[in-house]
Amino acid sequence: MFNKRTRVKELLQQEPAGQEVTVMGWVRTFRNNQFIALNDGSTNNNIQVVLELGQFADELLKRITTSASLRVKGTIQASLGKGQKMDLKASELEILGDCDAEKYPLQPKKHSLEFLREIAHLRFRTNTFGSVFRIRHSLAFAVHKFFHEKGFVYMHTPIITASDAEGAGEMFRVTSLPFDNPPRTEEGQIDFKKDFFGKSTNLTVSGQLEGELGATAFGEIYTFGPTFRAENSNTARHLAEFWMIEPEMAFCDLEDNMNLAEEFIKYLIGFAMENNREDLEFLSQRLAEEEKQLPQDKRSELGLIEKLEFVLNNEFQRLTYTEAIEILRESNHNKKKKFQYEITGWGMDLQSEHERYLVEKHFKKPVILSNYPKEIKAFYMRQNEDGKTVAAMDILAPGIGEIVGGSQREERLDKLTERMKEMHIPEEELWWYLDTRRFGTVPHAGFGLGFERMVQFVTGMANIRDVIAFPRTPGSAEF
Ligand code: 4AD
Ligand code: MG
């Protein structure tokens, strides 16, 4: 049996008492032909392997280069040196894989995040990405734990669909038709009846519509899967492929929905604080170092961990869209014409600079905005009595902007079909969705949390490309 090894993280929690162990990992550094800092990805902390002078042949020592992979057997003893509590005194050392130092692009020094993005296949071997992706894992686990404990059913909604849940037309087409000579109808249009699925299909932008079918049978469901948007947004908050969590609850109104979303976000933060303390401390330190380069007024008032604690311990600010427009209109920022997009008044869509002003400058905490004008929201949202607004809610987070989008759904068949007509959404295509309104309709609501934006919030990473393993963005699908 080969895999009889102790993980470095577990090893470092033990007391050094001469115990014999085997560790395997990648070399971070090798000093004085004697001290190897070995990392196995379980923690940013390395185990220091100590070789005795003359113990191993020079030929072998030469091959201990940065990122070579090793198997080391030895005994654990209290360290004589500063900086670590234990050493692994090697008795056997085997090189599992050599690493040509001349060709290996990662050196034991600080690299920029931009450079690391170009070598995303290797960046997990850095401390920063080690921390980020261990936290990402933890948050994903916590998503399931949270909903499982509440009795929600995890539903796998389709990746390939024929519908546009958001009605925004930002879809990637899925087809097996030949590009050079697709079949055409008599009118000369591409004939999707001849396509693989017998109709035009695309990658899903959201699992919500199918989620509603589940909620109106199980009561409460959630989805957690990849979603795709062909929007040409080259920003630090947009991906063409991102993961979304979408709970959907029957017998639930807008306020219940907001309560659940707030509880959920706080749960995820609390879970990371409890289970990823070491990685959060590392990232917090990293962020503090980075901010030292910024002018005083651009630095954050709170460190990463303090920010997370603050969010955990304070209620999110709730207000309506209408109230938000008033605040923006009356702000000095607006009066001094500092917004790039002018505040034109009620009915306008909020730009991310407006959202960030509300969250970062005005309230200085997460904000839940509700009851938006129906014109700027999707067809499925419940229409309010005023005839102008819908029961929508967005959660805005400091440093991120929109992190959650959700709503109470229009459960009244006549109101829903009326709105679909106004928005030119063909009823025939959504017959199955409308059936839920025909057969025992119920008040229901749900929301979508952008998983990468949540990981960004918890890790403090400024660019969304640095919290997903292999980002897909306009012009880029490497790896
Ligand atoms: O606001 P959105 O478009 O809402 C929906 O898709 C609804 N069907 C959700 C629901 O009610 N079940 O997207 C939800 C969240 C956003 O708040 C944002 O966090 C994230 O998904 N998101 C993106 N994240 C990364 N890159 C993109 N291009 C994103 N677009 C949306
Ligand atoms: Mg949205």
For 167-212, how does the pLDDT look when each residue is reduced to its tens digit (9 = 90+)? 888 999 999 999 999 999 999 999 999 999 999 999 999 999 999 9
User: Which whole-number Å values give the CA distances from 479 to 91, 112, 123, in the listed order?
Assistant: 39, 19, 12
**pLDDT number for residue 367:** 98
Task: Tell me the H-state helices in 276-345.
Answer: 277-291, 304-313, 321-330, 332-335
If residue 84 lies in a helix (H) or strand (E), which one and from where to where? none
Q: Is the pLDDT of residue 300 over 90?
A: no
Tell me the per-residue pLDDT of 214-230, one tens digit each, with 9 for 90 and over.
999 999 999 999 999 99
**pLDDT number for residue 83:** 85
What average pLDDT does range 403-422 have in this prediction? 98
Task: Identify the nearest ligand to the CA of 166 by its number.
Answer: 1
Under a CB-based contact definition with an 8 Å cutoff, are residues 56 and 70 in contact? Answer: no
- The residue whose C-alpha atom lies closest to atom 28 belonging to ligand 1 is 238
Q: What is the pTM of this model?
A: 0.97
Closest CA to 437 of 417, 457, 456: 417
**pLDDT number for residue 1:** 81
CB of 404 sitting under 6 A from ligand 1: yes
CB of 405 sitting under 6 A from ligand 1: yes
Task: Identify the nearest ligand to the CA of 168 by its number.
Answer: 1
Task: Identify the nearest ligand to the CA of 238 by its number.
Answer: 1
Report how far ligand 2's centroid is from the alpha carbon of 381 (Å).
12
Task: Identify the nearest ligand to the CA of 229 by its number.
Answer: 1
Ligand 1 nearest-atom number relative to CA 205: 6
CB of 74 sitting under 6 A from ligand 1: no
- The residue whose C-alpha atom lies closest to atom 4 belonging to ligand 1 is 405
CB of 242 sitting under 6 A from ligand 1: yes
What percent of the chain shows pLDDT beyond 70? Answer: 100
**Cα–Cα distance, 378 to 23 (Å, whole number):** 54
**Cα–Cα distance, 347 to 344 (Å, whole number):** 8
Task: Identify the nearest ligand to the CA of 242 by its number.
Answer: 1
- The residue whose C-alpha atom lies closest to atom 6 belonging to ligand 1 is 206
Under a CB-based contact definition with an 8 Å cutoff, are residues 442 and 287 in contact? Answer: no
CB of 450 sitting under 6 A from ligand 1: yes
Q: Is the pLDDT of residue 374 over 90?
A: yes
Tell me the per-residue pLDDT of 1-20, one tens digit each, with 9 for 90 and over.
888 899 999 999 999 999 99
Report how far ligand 2's centroid is from the alpha carbon of 232 (Å).
16
Rounded (10°) CA dihedral 205, 206, 207, 212: -130
CB of 208 sitting under 6 A from ligand 1: yes
Ligand 1 nearest-atom number relative to CA 464: 25
Which strands, in side-by-side order, build the sheet including 317-320? 153-154, 220-228, 241-250, 444-450, 401-408, 389-397, 367-373, 317-320
Q: How confident is the model at residue 298 (pLDDT cuts 50, 70, 90)?
A: confident
**pLDDT number for residue 166:** 87
Task: Tell me the H-state helices in 19-86.
Answer: 58-62
What rounded mean pLDDT belongs to the chain?
Answer: 96
What average pLDDT does range 220-247 have in this prediction? 97
Tell me the per-residue pLDDT of 29-47, one tens digit each, with 9 for 90 and over.
999 999 999 999 999 999 9
**pLDDT number for residue 2:** 81
Q: How confident is the model at residue 299 (pLDDT cuts 50, 70, 90)?
A: confident
**pLDDT number for residue 287:** 95
Report how far ligand 2's centroid is from the alpha carbon of 368 (Å).
12
Q: Which residue has the higher pLDDT, 72 or 294?
A: 72
- The residue whose C-alpha atom lies closest to atom 5 belonging to ligand 1 is 448
Tell me the per-residue pLDDT of 127-148, one tens digit each, with 9 for 90 and over.
999 999 999 999 999 999 999 9
Q: What angle do CA 306, 310, 312 make, to 5 degrees?
A: 115
Half-sphere exposure of 92 (CA within 13 A, CB side): 9
Ligand 1 nearest-atom number relative to CA 248: 12
**pLDDT number for residue 301:** 82
Q: How confident is the model at residue 297 (pLDDT cuts 50, 70, 90)?
A: confident
Report how far ligand 1's centroid is from the alpha carbon of 166 (Å).
9
**pLDDT number for residue 172:** 97
Q: Is the pLDDT of residue 95 over 90?
A: yes
Tell me the per-residue pLDDT of 328-359, one tens digit each, with 9 for 90 and over.
999 999 999 999 999 999 999 999 999 999 99
Report how far ligand 1's centroid is from the alpha carbon of 87 (Å).
48
